[in-house]
Copies of this chain bind each other. A is one copy, B any other.
């Protein structure tokens, strides 16, 4: 009876589109890098010291204080999300009075799910979608299931390039995915001038833009730039919110904490309405209690949280940029972000980030993400992503110094003085 069940018999049953979904190299890499003696710039997750721990605890206490509220927090709820949370999101980062209401908001299980639901709603197999190259890995990973054609467009220091974007639009695009503020992985922000050009194109062509606001609140230097969403609504009339091509997504993972898994979409109500049916089908709704905890914190503590975070991460970004200047060879360049979590490094042609990583971890006890992972076309091997969000300032200085030694050696240029790396690492 059981002879028909061969080893690994399940393998032949899996769908082709599911097998399209790649493993996230970063998450696999992170598992290997949990060695305490390695200084890791690979992560890119928020620092636990920035979680408003006591305030989160207080939010749970408040929910528990009233039996009806506590019961509500533990029960099933609506797929669109907890109304007070949706109302807060409707007013976030907009001109005032906001053109949005809670009918324009759906709460998701993190912004990763926002992307999944939007891909589910928009993409038919073979349709073309555009994003910057290099690209956010989480987006590439989830979008691939829906079998689109990827159109990767290069950036300069003002963000996505307009000429190739026009060429891509001429051939047809289903949507454009952008992280205009402190892009992951490059840290580059889209300039105001370039934002206006992108909006011109979206409005003229009737092509939606998914604007990912993951890092928008984490600006450490320079002036705030209005979001694509705000700029588009300024062009449209007062009923513009039902006509705008900009679909915004966001998360509380970087402003409050990731463990609650609360993100959102803000868009024309027809989009939200369809997303709600899809959300219902995939997991009914985001955790009720987690939504209520976030909503409670937002009543009085969002600004305090982000001010604290900005001061904390600014120190780390500046330490990294200073150390890069001090320790890296001259023929290596990197981006100059004004916020977010990442600096992007371009190595001379011929250096391979993956190969460097081996030597870096083994011999120099320092880690990063080889940049090739962020290219959907096999290029970019001579790039690296460095994250400064999870480290102390002294670790950043030490780690970049170690990387500088490795790079000097690889490039056969004069080295900075050798330090006793293994001895000092314990004190970091």
Contacts and interface: CB of A to CB of B under 8 A. Distances in A.
Interface of A: 1-2, 4-5, 7-11, 13-18, 21-24, 27, 31, 45-46, 48, 51, 53, 56-57, 60, 64, 67, 70-79, 108-110, 112-113, 116, 120-124, 138, 141-142, 144-145, 174, 200, 203-206, 208, 235-237, 242-245, 253, 257-261, 268, 270-271, 274, 277-278, 280-290
27 contacts: A1-B235, A5-B206, A9-B206, A10-B208, A14-B274, A18-B278, A21-B278, A21-B281, A23-B277, A27-B78, A45-B75, A45-B76, A48-B71, A48-B75, A51-B71, A51-B75, A53-B64, A56-B74, A57-B70, A60-B60, A75-B258, A109-B261, A109-B287, A116-B282, A258-B288, A259-B288, A287-B287
B208 A74 contact: no
Contacts of A78: 27, 31
Nearest to A31: B78
B203 A2 contact: yes
B57 A8 contact: no
Given A18-B278, A74-B48, A281-B21, A289 B204 contact: no
Contacts of A145: 120, 278, 281
Of A116, A203, A261, chain B has the most CB atoms within 10 Å of the CB of A261
A341 to B, nearest CB: 13
A242 B11 CA distance: 12
Given A4-B204, A17-B124, 8 more contacts: A9-B243, A11-B270, A13-B174, A31-B78, A108-B283, A260-B287, A260-B289, A282-B282
A243 B78 CA distance: 39
A4 to B, nearest CB: 5
Contacts of A64: 53, 57
A77 B145 CA distance: 23
A141 B10 contact: no
B74 A258 contact: yes
A204 B1 contact: yes
Contact of A124 (B15, B144, B203): B15
A358 to B, nearest CB: 24
A215 to B, nearest CB: 15
B243 A5 contact: yes
A6 to B, nearest CB: 8
A365 B128 CA distance: 53
A270 to B, nearest CB: 5
A258 to B, nearest CB: 4
Contacts of A7: 242-243
A271 B15 CA distance: 12
A242 to B, nearest CB: 8
B281 A75 contact: no
Contacts of A287: 109, 259-261, 287, 290
Contacts of A236: 2, 5
Nearest to A208: B13
Nearest to A140: B281
Of A5, A7, A253, A286, chain B has the most CB atoms within 10 Å of the CB of A5
A113 to B, nearest CB: 4
